[in-house]
Structures are given as structure tokens and as C-alpha cells.
Structure 1
Amino acid sequence: MTLSDLAPRRLALDLTVRPLGISSGTSRWAPAAPRPQDARLLDGLRRALDAGDNDGVQLLDTADSHRCGHAERLVGRVLKEHPGHRVQVASKVGRVQGSAPHPYAGPRVRHQLEQTLENLYLDELALYTLESYDFGLGDRYLDPVIEQMQALRDLGQIRAIGLRGPGCRASERSTRRFLDLFDRIRPDVLWTQASGLLPLADLGDGEDLGAFAARHGVGLVIASPLAHGVLAGGRVDRAVAAWPSSAADRGAVASAITQGLAQLAGEFGSSPQALVRVALRSILQRVQNAVLVIGVGDEQQHRHDHGLLGRPLSEQELAAADAVFARIRSVLLKPEERASSVEAIV
């Protein structure tokens, strides 16, 4: 593996971006009071855009559900400060209901896109992803939503249609639902969350979501590859506190992650940059049709350019990292865990 693995990757027709992009953060579906973290997010976005100005087209991933549109407005503020930027922006729809009877009801998708474009000071989105599988009773809104998304793509308001893919802890029912929606929607791109701690979903017959996307010729966007900062030397207790298990299980999870991080540090170095390199490259080199997006407003701040990725991992290094991640996953993904539980630390 050489530096050519950092070449731009094709997500969809006429949509080619760098393999490492940025995200405005995680979903917060309830409105919040004035946010002290705004300054951190704005600073991270500005630094990321400045770093990427001369380094190819970068993907910026956000959603209307990220703090109920507030994150979109912050992104738009920074984009407006960078006229002539080369950023391709992706957003999502399907979580925020507003005053409509359902997030997908009537012309809701089109209306929300108009609001999203206004928030972002853009005329088009590179990628618009359907974030929820709930299309109303009997899927009453599904066909109209498909028609709206295709029309928006035909009109040039979006360049690619996205669909959220299942996580590795998804139930069989959820996975079947995804496969059915994939056949009906025929998206251009799949979006999911994955990391060394919780890998890409297995869709059956040993095929994971990355191989599935490659086989169908669609792009793949992977969010949270640093497990919300845990794989960047972040606080393990923050992730464990959100783990949907008993206190005893959380203790085992904390121990497994802590020991795994120590093993990675012994193998690759203890600096956050060394851990980040392993976490990102272990995905990028295994899933060569994927683009990763990492948050810019988290506690762990890093450079968002190719220097973050460092040199490629050798086959021996990949194997060593895989072995450590497998040991952690053997605790995280115990068979008795509820498959439908929230993917808290993906």
C-alpha cells in the first residue's frame, strides 16, 4: 500500500472526494439553550477547511437532526466565510418532524432540503441521505419520498441519494428492512457508523456492508471511525457510561477497551496521532470504496488533512491492529447482548 491510497475516491457519478472528510457532530434532536460548544465547532470547521483548501475536494457531513438544524447553520456560516471553497456537503433528512404529521409526510423532504440549503448558503447538496427507515404506517410515504428524491436529483438540487445502512448490532429484522429499502430506493451512496470497536454490519453469507456496497457499485460513507474520540486517546468512561448494559457489563467493556488501547499504544506508539492513524487506516486500507468522516467539534482535536493518516499500515501492522480490535469486540459483541440496542460507541 502506497500513498496512492489517499487518492480521491468515487462515491457516486460526478462525486469524487478525498478519503477523509469531516462531520459536524452527532444528532441532538431536542432544541438546546445557547451552546458553549459552538466556538469549538466553528474553530474546528475553519481549521479543517483551511487545511483542505489546497488538498482536493473534501466531504463535509452534517444533518438537519444535528442539534435540530443548528449545526447546519454553523456549517453555513463557515462556508460563507470561505468563498470559492471546494467542499462537497452531505446532509440527511427523516428525523426532524417539525409541524408535519411525519418527517417524510407530503412535500416534507423537498421543504426540508430548501431549509437545509438556506442554512448552508448552498444551491445544491452533494449527498442527501434518508436517515430513518420509518415511512409511516404501511410505508405510505415511501413511494412519494422516492419520487421526490429522484426529482431533486434530476433537478440538480442534490447530486446523490443516500440511505442509512445498518450498524453491526442491528437485528435481523432491521437488516432485512434495509435490504428491502435498498432494492426499492436504489440509493447512490450508503451511510453508516463503524470503527475498530464495532465493525461494518454483516449482511449475511459473510458479506459486510463494505463488500455489499462495492458489489452494487454504490459509495460508502463511514462516520465515527474514531469511536467518538475513544480511539484518539479519548475518555473511555464517556463511552462506557452510554453503553446499554448492566453495570457489570460496563465494567468488562471498560476493561476491554482500556487493555486494547494499551496494546495498540505498545505496538504503534502512545500519542493520540498514532492511535488515530491506526484507527483510520485499518478501515481505509480494508474498505477501499469507503470515505471516512470524523467530527471536528469533539474533545479530541486533530489536523484534518492527509498528515493525519500518516504512512500506510503494513500487512503485519494491519494484522496486529485487527487482532487487538477483535479481542475488544469479543467483549463488546457478546451473543446475549440485545441486537437492537443503540450503537453507543461506534
Structure 2
Amino acid sequence: MTLSDLAPRRLAPGLTVRPLGVSSGSSRWAPTAPQPQDARLLDALRRALDVGDDDDGAQLLDTADSHRCGHAERLVGKILKEHPSRRVQVASKVGRVQGSAPHPYAGPRVRHQLEQTLENLYLDHLALYTLESYDFGLGDRYLDPVVEQMQALRDLGQIRAIGLRGPGSHSSQRSIRRFLDLFDRIRPDVLWTQASGLQPLADLGHGEDLGAFAVRHGVGLVIASPLAHGVLAGDRVDRALAAWPSAAADRGAVAAAVTHGLAQMAGMFGSSPRALARVALRSVLQRVQNAVLVIGVGDEQQHRYDRGLLGRPLSEQELDAVEEVFARVRSVLFKPEERAPSVGVIV
């Protein structure tokens, strides 16, 4: 079975993509940190673009100027140049790389960075350009000019949709209030966040999570890291500990809970990274039916992203069983006051 059993999903007016896309990496990489080999990342990107037929709809390829300080964008550009006929919609982000400007959003910085991003990617426009940071300078001095620039770029056709990073499951109430204020002032077309079975969509209050919020406001939703940085595909458990710095203090208990949860999943669906990845991805896609997922292709033990990755749909009974496993792991991952609800509601 191919990706086509899940219909393409609408992110913004005129922007519809397959429900499963790919990401070039992580902004957690620092210039001095060990980097994935370029050859491995290029090979993974080539495999990803070979998935599915053109009739399945365009594929979303998510990157950022902060991924390896722009190097990931240049690698993506190399692949796009090799595959000129592929139906790919490219998303990037701005707001973390300052360069020589006094602030990442200062003056015409957004427009200048877009020009550099388009040059890196060999493109004349982006499908989605996301504001990554909530810091718009003292007193939000750069906010209104940035909104004007983003709207102008959309009007000129250099970007098709304006994105805003949404809060994560660990976000404080202050961060959530900040997001809600920025959402009202920016009026984005798409929200971008990180979530998985272990890191649910942010609860915005009054029983509404980020997925339901996106539906209510008629905006798209992109979810990154649905495999919890590879943990849910059977990757190293220590990545879970790094991904949740506010998790329970007993790291041994956290590691044991994640390992036990994966063993339970393996008993139900198979122990291969591919089988575990399918269940983790399906559980999000089937419960959060307005979302498009992007999975990283640069991790050391990245599972193979191929034509049949998603396999058959999960039944309601299987979805419930998977959620029970995730809930038990979350009860150890999070402190009692931080415990999060399910990954999302069916919308």
C-alpha cells in the first residue's frame, strides 16, 4: 500500500501536499557539533523524493536557514536541481540566524534571508515561510515591519503561505499566551510545531489542543519530529532523555519506560524500525487528520523512507492500544504537573 490511501491535505489556499513529507534536519545542530555526513543526507533526500508517484500530489520538503547554518538548504538545493520534474513543495524558516544584522528580524533581514534561501535552493519561491522565533526585539519593535514584509512577499508570489511556530507540549502558560497574541497579530496561514505520541500537541486551554485550534481558525498544521527524534523507530533511548529536559528526574526510570513501551509496541506490530515507525506515524496522522507530518532524514539510524512506509491503516482498536502504551510512557516522562493529554483529537 502506498501513501495514496491518505489523501493529500490542504495547508493553505492553493497549497495541498501529501500527508507525509521530509525534513532536512534539526536546528539543534551547532557548527562545532558532529554533523551527519553530507553523502548520507543527500542519499536519504534522494530516496525521499523517489517515494510515490507524481499523481499522489506534491511532497513537502521542510528545511530552515538554521539547519546546519544554511548548509542543509544548500544540500536540499542540490537534490532539487537533480530532480527538476518532481512535484515538491519546499518550506523554510527564518528568525534564528542573525548574521551581521543587529537582530534576526531587523530591517529588511527577512527579505534578504529569503533571497539567500531561494538562491541556496535554486528556487524562485517557497511554498511556506515560517517565523521561527517569538523574539521581535525590545517592545516588539520589529514585529509590524516583519508582518508587512511577509505579507508583501506573499503578495509578490515569493512565498505562498506565512507560517508561525506553534507552542510545544512543554510550553509555559506565558509562551502559550505569547503565541496566541502573535497569532492574532500575524494571522499566519500555517502553524508549525513538534509533536509525537510521547510529546503531544500543546494544550491551549479550555480543552483545545493545537490541532483543534488550527481547524477552528482554518489554518494548516505541520508536525515535525513525529518519531520523537528517532526514538519511536527504535533509535537510541538516550535521545528521549535529551528531547525532554523537564522529564522526571529519575532518568533510569525514563529510559526503562521508553524501552518497555517500545517492547509492547513490538509485541503488537513487529520489532523492526520500519514497523515501529509505521505505527508511530499512523497514530498521529489518523488522529490529527488536519496535519501534515515531516520526518527527519539526517539522523544516524534513520529508517528507510520508502514507498510502503505507512502500510495499512490502524484499526480503532489498534489506535486505542497504541495510545494506552504512549500514555503509560508519558506518565513517567513528565512530572505529575506536566503530564500531557493524548497526541491530538480526531478532527
TM tier relative to shorter chain: over 0.9
1:144-175 CA-to-partner distances (Å, cap 9, x unmatched) read 00000000000000000000000001000000
Matched, 1:48 2:36: no
Structure 2 CA distance, aligned partners of 1:241 and 1:235?
11
3-state secondary structure, aligned to 1:285: helix
User: Could you tell me how far apart the structure 1 residues matched to 2:11 and 2:35 are?
Assistant: 33
Give the distance between the partners of 1:36 and 1:198, measured in 2 at CA: 25
Q: Cα distance 1:246–1:314, how it changes in 2: closer, same or farther (>3 A)?
A: closer
In 2: Cα distance, 1:181 partner to 1:27 partner: 22
Question: C-alpha distance in 2, partners of 1:34/1:227?
Answer: 20
Note the C-alpha offset of 1:271: 1.5
Partners of 1:314 and 1:44 lie apart in 2 by: 30
| Structure 1 residue 131: Cα displacement | 0.2
8 A contact 2:3–2:52 mirrored in 1: no
Instruction: Spell out the pairing of 1:100-119 with structure 2 (5 A cutoff).
Output: 100-119=101-120
Q: Deviations over 1:260-291 (max 9, x none)?
A: 11111111211212111110010000111000
Question: Could you tell me whether the CA contact under 8 Å between 1:29 and 1:66 is conserved in 2?
Answer: yes
- Rounded to whole Å, the distance in 2 between the matches of 1:111 and 1:44 is 29
Question: In the TM superposition, what whole-angstrom CA distance separates every residue of 1:228-258 from its partner, at most 9, and x where no partner exists?
Answer: 1110011102332564258952112101101
Pair 1:270-2:292 in alignment? no
Residues 1:286 and 1:224: Cα distance change in structure 2 (over 3 Å): same
Looking at structure 2, the residues matched to 172 and 178 of structure 1 have their Cα atoms a distance apart, in angstroms, of 10
Aligned partner of 2:201 in structure 1 is 200
- SS of alignment partner, residue 50 of structure 2: helix
CA displacement at 1:26 relative to structure 2: 0.5
The question of 1:304 aligning with 2:283 is answered: no
CA distance in 1, matches of 2:204, 2:311: 32
Is the Cα contact below 8 Å between 2:36 and 2:298 reproduced in 1? no
Amino acid at match of 2:117: T
Name 1:19's counterpart in structure 2: 19
SS of the counterpart of 1:254? helix
- What are the residue-to-residue correspondences of 1:6-155 with 2, within 5 Å? 6-28=6-28, 30-32=30-32, 35=35, 37-52=37-52, 54=54, 55-155=56-156
Give secondary structure in 1 for the equivalent of 2:235.
Answer: coil
Inter-partner Cα distance in structure 2 for 1:315 and 1:176: 34
User: Identity over the aligned pairs, expressed in percent?
Assistant: 87
Give the conservation status (yes or no) of the 8 Å contact 2:19–2:293: yes
Deviations 1:35-90 (A, max 9, x none): 55211111100111122453421000000000100000000011111122211000
SS in structure 1 opposite 2:336?
Answer: coil
Tell me the distance in 1 between the aligned counterparts of 2:3 and 2:313.
7
Residue 185 of structure 1 is matched in structure 2 by 186
TM-score (norm 1): 0.93
Which residue type is aligned with residue 170 of structure 1? S
Q: Deviations over 1:88-107 (max 9, x none)?
A: 00000000000000000000
Are the equivalent residues in 2 in contact too, given 1:59–1:90 (CA < 8 A)? yes
Aligned-pair CA distance for 1:337: 5.9
Whole-Å separation in 1 of the counterparts to 2:58 and 2:3: 17
Q: Give secondary structure in 1 for the equivalent of 2:222.
A: strand
Q: Unaligned regions of 5+ residues in structure 2, if any? A: 341-347
Assess if the C-alpha contact under 8 Å between 2:247 and 2:333 holds in 1: no
In 2 relative to 1, CA 337–42 (structure 1 residues): closer, same or farther, beyond 3 Å? same
Whether contact under 8 Å (1:53, 1:86) holds in the other structure is no
Distance 1:216 1:33, change over 3 A: closer
Matched residue count: 338
Please state whether the residue corresponding to 1:69 is helix, strand or coil: helix
**Cα RMSD (Å):** 2.1
For the structure 1 residues 140 and 248, does the alpha-carbon distance in structure 2 shift closer, same or farther, using more than 3 Å as the test? closer
Report the residue type matching 2:252 in the other structure.
Answer: G
Could you tell me whether the CA contact under 8 Å between 1:25 and 1:66 is conserved in 2?
yes
Q: 1:248 to 1:168 in 2, by over 3 A?
A: closer
Task: Check conservation: 1:10, 1:219, Cα contact below 8 A.
Answer: yes
Mapped contact 2:331–2:339 kept (Cα < 8 A):
no
Q: In the superposition, relative to structure 1, how do residues 45 and 178 fare at CA in structure 2: closer, same or farther (>3 Å)?
A: same
